[in-house]
């Protein structure tokens, strides 16, 4: 067996296998290049226009992507490009669909060969042609680089299932957006679909983040997937029976948005459970890549299905995709979390998350910059179905190709992002993304040819991923682990709220002023607000948010019940008169830290009869919350406290007192006054 394994993994065997995989694509590209007129005629036969640039692009894709696969340079990009091309060919160019039902058996083999190539290309996109290790965390694997987490079976299975699920979701979204344009000519109705999809995330983001922290994430995700599958199943039945209406579409899209709102923070939160910490960044990057793979394949496949078989086919495949996701989640044997008396309850965790968000200036900046960008950039997403149908004269298939091009552009942006980060800081990247998005909207106002519109969507995808990845990355960088799920939920709430409100507003404006004028207003507005808010710099995210664990444990006269509260903490300082102003300035930073970590009230006061004796006090809602506060203080917070502490005079450290409210006195413990 070892000899066979060595032979199968020999470099020349691998190269030959890759060459065989690409043989059909190389042969097709070469033949089209030698007989370009025939290639153009073939494009016209399939109803693709303009035929000349599409034929040239097909040749470049077949030969260029094959070269990437065989050479190993950005192999994943070449493999995914051929995978998307194969999906399009299977639905658009294969004779299986044109053949009468009685003759389909003879063409079925060629049809399913397309899907074999698709599977091979997808497999090639993730493999590094090295041995993988079955152990999840305890064994070091030999795979290196960005795809290393795929060597961990549980991550690989859930990642693949997520990609399939997202492909199905994009197919459903395309079908729903296009069906609205058939059922209603109102721009407001079209924009309502975007609003219905994103508004639930705005309304439910924080509760979803809390639930992701306090519930069993695996079971929670299974329940959400069942809900989403039921939504798509209902759409399937309505489409199949020709009873689908705009009202049903908006209502079911809203329910699907609820599922997406509940699912988003939880999917992001489980990644650290699946991979070692050393591979966490690669795993996060792979998740972004998976979304963009789905964005490149799903809309194009959905548009082609919609054009060939109707909306029911797209909804049906979406239902099937949820089956794969549910099966993967059932297969995942997640270790049960140990019960702890300090585990947060829903409302307490909700309040803690809101307190942190209110007190975090860094998060405020990220939320503000995200809100102004997505509010104006939402114009292109809200109006794109109408742009494709009315301004560009496209079909459902063309609309799917446009969305697929956005995904392809996003993949390109993900590849270029590391190089751009070396040249631009985070503020520069967001400004560049704003200019790119605004330029695309401005050109679309001129109703360009369809081939140029597809090229513009590639550029739009690049700009979109620059903004999305940069803002999301900064949000994650400024959030400590204990509140990351809730903080990201608030970020998602702002993102989807801006998209929902923006989509509704742009739809109303388009109904009054027309599509070109609305897109132009959005483009000009995006550039202006980006230049204005560029002065408000995004945080660097360099603060050390790891727990400092430098607070000593309270000394108790007797045990204190965890539900006792409120709790008052007093710290007594000795400050020289000449240092008082500088001390108070330093304490303002400490005040933000106390509130972020759990205090709901804070103050500082000086003794009237003893100048220089200064008391800092803050209130926490329960003894358990104060104990959690001990674990929340980060190393960056410790630095802020040290900056204020250097003004303290005297041989001893400041004295700390804990007081428990007698109104909340527990029958299980005494007042628990402590001094240390």
> Residues 356-379: pLDDT tens digits?
888 888 899 999 999 999 999 999
Distance between CA atoms of 142 and 525, rounded to whole angstroms? Answer: 50
Quick one: pLDDT at residue 594? 87
The lowest-confidence range among 400-409, 562-571, 652-661 is: 400-409
Name the residue with higher pLDDT: 496 or 590.
590
Kind and range of the H or E run holding 655: strand 655-660
Q: At what angle do helices 153-183 and 187-214 cross, to 10 degrees?
A: 150
Residue 311 reports pLDDT greater than 50? yes
pLDDT at res. 669: 40
Other CB atoms within 10 A of residue 572 CB: 15
pLDDT at residue 115 above 70?
no
Number of C-beta neighbours around residue 20 at 10 A: 10
Pick 673 or 201 by higher pLDDT. 201
Instruction: Kindly give, in sequence order, each residue whose CB lies less than 8 Å from that of residue 559, ignoring residues fewer than 6 positions away.
Output: 668, 669, 672
Q: Which CATH architecture has domain 567-675?
A: 2-Layer Sandwich (3.30)
Q: How far is CA 652 from the centre of its chain?
A: 49
Dihedral sign, Cα of residue 452, residue 454, residue 458, residue 461: positive
Between CA 26 and CA 33, with CA 30 as vertex, the angle to 5 degrees is 140
Q: Check if the beta carbon of residue 570 is closer than 8 Å to that of residue 625.
A: no
> What was the pLDDT predicted at 596?
82
Contact status, residue 285 vs residue 76, Cβ threshold 8 Å: no
Mean pLDDT of 615-643: 84
Q: What is the band of 431 on the pLDDT scale with cuts at 50, 70, 90? A: very high
Res 428: pLDDT: 92
Most confident of 167-176, 229-238, 555-564: 229-238
660 contacts: CB under 8 Å, gap ≥ 6: 560, 564, 565, 566, 567, 568, 623, 671, 672, 673
Q: What is the pLDDT of residue 313?
A: 87
Q: Give residue 125's pLDDT band: very low, low, confident or very high (50, 70, 90).
A: very low
Tell me which range, 38-52, 103-117, 270-284, 638-652, is most confidently predicted by mean pLDDT.
638-652
Q: What is the pLDDT of residues 512-530, one digit of tens each?
A: 899 999 999 999 999 999 9
Which two tokens mark 11?
Answer: 């470099």
Looking at every residue in the chain, the average pLDDT score rounds to 79
Torsion angles phi and psi, residue 658, rounded to 5: -115, 135
Say if residues 461 and 412 touch (Cβ distance below 8 Å). yes
What local confidence, expressed as pLDDT, does residue 120 receive? 54
Residue 141: which region, alpha, beta or left (left: phi > 0; alpha: psi -120 to 50)? Answer: beta
Q: Which sequence spans correspond to the domains of the chain? A: 11-96+107-125, 567-675
How large is the average pLDDT for residues 115-141? 43
Single pTM value for the model: 0.66
In this prediction, residue 441 carries a pLDDT of: 94
Residue 128: pLDDT band by 50, 70, 90 thresholds? Answer: very low
CA pair distance 7, 117, nearest whole angstrom: 23
Confirm if 460 and 437 have CB atoms less than 8 A apart.
yes
Q: Would the pLDDT of 541 be above 70?
A: no
Q: Mean pLDDT across the stretch 641-646?
A: 85
Q: Hey, CA dihedral for 278, 283, 289, 293, is it positive or negative?
A: positive
pLDDT value, residue 603: 92
What is the SS3 assignment for 615?
Answer: strand
User: Can you read off the two tokens belonging to residue 119?
Assistant: 């599977």
The larger pLDDT score, comparing residue 88 to residue 220, is at 220
Of 123 and 477, which is predicted with more confidence?
477
- Give the residue-averaged pLDDT of 139-157: 66
The alpha-helical segments, DSSP class H, found in 184-245 are 187-214, 217-240
If one compares 282 and 675, the residue with the highest pLDDT of the two is 282
Is the pLDDT assigned to residue 673 strictly greater than 50?
no
Q: Return the pLDDT at 55.
A: 81
**pLDDT at 117 > cutoff 80:** no
Q: How far is the C-alpha of 4 from the C-alpha of 666, rounded, in Å?
A: 71
* pLDDT tens digit sequence for 239-288: 888 888 888 888 999 999 898 888 877 887 777 778 776 676 667 667 77
175 neighbors 306 (Cβ within 8 angstroms): yes
Tokens of 558: 């007797």
Q: What is the Cα–Cα distance from 73 to 69, expressed in whole angstroms?
A: 7
What pLDDT is stored for residue 285 in this prediction? 64
The pLDDT of residue 325 is above 60: yes
Question: At 670, is the pLDDT very low, low, confident or very high (cuts 50, 70, 90)?
Answer: very low
pLDDT band at 156 (very low <50, low <70, confident <90, very high): confident
Q: What one-character-per-residue DSSP string does 409-457 give? A: HHHHHHHHHHHHHHH--HHHHHHHHHHHHHHHHHHHTT---HHHHHHHH
**Could you tell me the pLDDT band of residue 93, with boundaries at 50, 70 and 90?**
low
Residue 420 contacts by C-beta under 8 Å, 6 or more apart in sequence?
Answer: 429, 432, 466
447 burial via Cβ count (<10 Å: 0-12, 13-18, 19+)? middle
pLDDT digits (tens, 9 = 90+) for 189-239: 777 887 788 778 777 878 888 887 777 788 889 999 999 999 999 999 998
For the chain, the maximum distance between any two Cα atoms, rounded to a whole number of angstroms, is 101
């Amino acid at each position: 067996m070892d000899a066979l394994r060595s032979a199968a993994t020999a470099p020349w065997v691998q190269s030959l296998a890759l060459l065989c995989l690409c043989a059909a694509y190389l042969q097709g590209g070469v033949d089209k290049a030698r007989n370009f007129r025939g290639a153009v005629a073939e494009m016209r036969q399939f109803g693709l226009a303009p035929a000349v640039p599409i034929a040239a692009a097909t040749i470049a894709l077949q030969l260029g992507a094959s070269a990437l696969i065989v050479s190993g340079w950005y192999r994943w990009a070449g493999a995914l490009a051929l995978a998307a091309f194969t999906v399009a060919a299977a639905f658009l160019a294969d004779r299986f669909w044109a053949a009468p039902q009685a003759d389909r058996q003879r063409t079925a083999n060629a049809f399913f060969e397309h899907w074999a190539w698709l599977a091979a290309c997808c497999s090639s996109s993730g493999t590094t042609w090295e041995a993988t290790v079955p152990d999840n965390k305890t064994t070091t694997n030999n795979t290196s680089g960005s795809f290393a987490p795929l060597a961990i079976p549980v991550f690989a299975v859930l990642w693949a299932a997520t990609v399939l699920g997202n492909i199905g979701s994009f197919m459903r979204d395309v079908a729903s957006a296009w069906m609205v344009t058939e059922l209603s000519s109102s721009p407001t109705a079209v924009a309502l679909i975007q609003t219905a999809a994103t508004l639930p995330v705005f309304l439910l983001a924080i509760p979803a983040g809390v639930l992701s922290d306090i519930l069993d994430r695996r079971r929670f995700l299974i329940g959400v997937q069942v809900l989403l599958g039921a939504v798509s199943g209902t759409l399937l039945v309505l489409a199949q029976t020709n009873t689908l209406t705009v009202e049903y579409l908006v209502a079911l899209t809203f329910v699907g948005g609820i599922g997406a709102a509940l699912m988003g923070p939880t999917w992001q939160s489980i990644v650290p459970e699946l991979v070692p910490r050393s591979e966490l960044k690669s795993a996060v990057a792979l998740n972004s890549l998976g979304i963009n793979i789905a964005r490149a394949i799903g809309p194009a496949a959905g548009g082609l299905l919609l054009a060939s078989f109707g909306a029911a086919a797209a909804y049906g495949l979406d239902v099937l995709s949820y089956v794969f996701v549910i099966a993967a989640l059932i297969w995942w044997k997640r270790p049960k979390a140990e019960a702890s008396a300090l585990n947060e309850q829903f409302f307490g965790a909700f309040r803690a998350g809101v307190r942190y968000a209110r007190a975090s200036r860094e998060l405020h900046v990220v939320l503000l910059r995200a809100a102004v960008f997505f509010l104006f950039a939402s114009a292109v997403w809200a109006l794109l179905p109408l742009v494709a149908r009315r301004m560009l004269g496209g079909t459902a298939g063309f609309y799917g190709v446009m969305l697929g091009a956005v995904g392809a552009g996003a993949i390109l942006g993900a590849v270029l992002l590391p190089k751009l980060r070396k040249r631009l800081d985070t503020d520069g990247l967001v400004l560049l993304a704003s200019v790119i998005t605004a330029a695309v909207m401005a050109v679309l106002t001129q109703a360009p040819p369809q081939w140029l519109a597809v090229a513009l969507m590639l550029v739009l995808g690049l700009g979109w991923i620059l903004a999305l990845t940069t803002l999301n990355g900064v949000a994650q960088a400024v959030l400590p682990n204990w509140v990351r799920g809730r903080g990201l939920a608030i970020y998602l709430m702002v993102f989807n709220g801006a998209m929902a409100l923006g989509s509704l507003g742009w739809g109303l404006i388009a109904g009054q002023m027309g599509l070109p004028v609305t897109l132009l207003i959005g483009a000009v507005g995006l550039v202006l607000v980006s230049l204005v808010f560029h002065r408000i710099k995004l945080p660097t995210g360099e603060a050390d948010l790891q727990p400092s664990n430098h607070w000593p444990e309270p000394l108790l006269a007797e045990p204190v019940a965890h539900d006792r509260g409120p709790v008052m903490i007093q710290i007594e300082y000795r400050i020289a008169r000449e240092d008082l102003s500088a001390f108070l300035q330093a304490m303002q930073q400490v005040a933000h830290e106390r509130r972020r970590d759990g205090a709901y009230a804070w103050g500082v006061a000086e003794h009237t009869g003893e100048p220089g004796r200064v008391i800092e006090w803050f209130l926490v809602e329960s003894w358990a919350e104060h104990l959690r506060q001990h674990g929340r203080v980060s190393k960056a917070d410790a630095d802020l406290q040290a900056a204020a502490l250097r003004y303290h005079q005297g041989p001893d450290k400041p004295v700390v007192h804990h007081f428990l409210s007698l109104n909340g006195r527990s029958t299980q413990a005494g007042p628990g006054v402590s001094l240390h």
